[in-house]
């Protein structure tokens, strides 16, 4: 990829995915904007989730004694467009702990602190063997 910001955007996404892998809220918070939304269809209805959702998930896992440190994450950027400080990125994403894989669509903005995901739309796909 010849875009000079591609590497920085890839790194931001890698940090976010690593945060999701173990529900590390500090890593998620570095990349996912505080007022951003994660949107998808759940049980036939559009679901809107704020960043704190991942903290709540981790708190529940800790209370239940669940440890996801052996969860493996994989992602690949499928499409990428950037216009100045705005980018639209589509990734394919997989976690060994999930029964499905995902297509995530990220809208990102570059701030003084780097590239941030301001909104995410996700779609479930059939789990692939990797």
Give the three-class secondary structure for 58.
Answer: helix
Domain ranges of the chain: 6-126
Q: How far apart are CA 46 and CA 128, in angstroms?
A: 25
Domain 6-126, CATH among 3.40.50.1820, 3.10.450.50, 3.40.630.30, 3.40.50.300: 3.10.450.50
Residue 67: the pLDDT is 82
Residue 42: the pLDDT is 87
**Which range (5-14, 61-70, 85-94, 115-124) has the least confidence?**
61-70
Residue 106: the pLDDT is 98
Residue 111: the pLDDT is 96
Q: What is the pLDDT of residues 21-36, one digit of tens each?
A: 999 999 999 999 999 9
Q: What is the pLDDT of residues 89-127, one digit of tens each?
A: 999 999 998 999 999 999 999 999 999 999 999 999 999
Nearest in space to 74 (alpha carbons), one of 33, 127, 123, 2: 127
Residue 2: the pLDDT is 83
Residues 6+ positions from 30 with CB-CB distance below 8 Å? 15, 16, 19
Q: What is the pLDDT of residues 38-55, one digit of tens each?
A: 999 988 999 999 999 999
Residue 30: the pLDDT is 96
C-alpha R_g of the chain = 15
pLDDT of residue 1 exceeding 70, the answer is no
């Amino acid at each position: 990829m010849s875009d000079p910001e591609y590497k920085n955007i890839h790194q931001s996404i890698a940090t976010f995915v690593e945060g999701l892998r173990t529900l590390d809220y500090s890593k998620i918070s570095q990349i996912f904007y505080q007022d951003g939304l994660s949107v998808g269809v759940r049980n036939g209805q559009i679901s809107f989730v704020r960043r704190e959702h991942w903290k709540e998930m981790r708190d529940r896992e800790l209370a239940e004694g669940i440890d996801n440190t052996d969860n493996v994450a994989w992602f690949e950027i499928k499409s990428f467009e950037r216009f100045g400080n705005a980018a639209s990125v589509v990734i394919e994403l997989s976690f060994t702990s999930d029964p499905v894989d995902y297509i995530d669509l990220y809208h990102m903005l570059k701030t003084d602190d780097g590239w941030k995901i301001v909104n995410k739309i996700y779609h479930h796909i059939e789990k692939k063997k990797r």
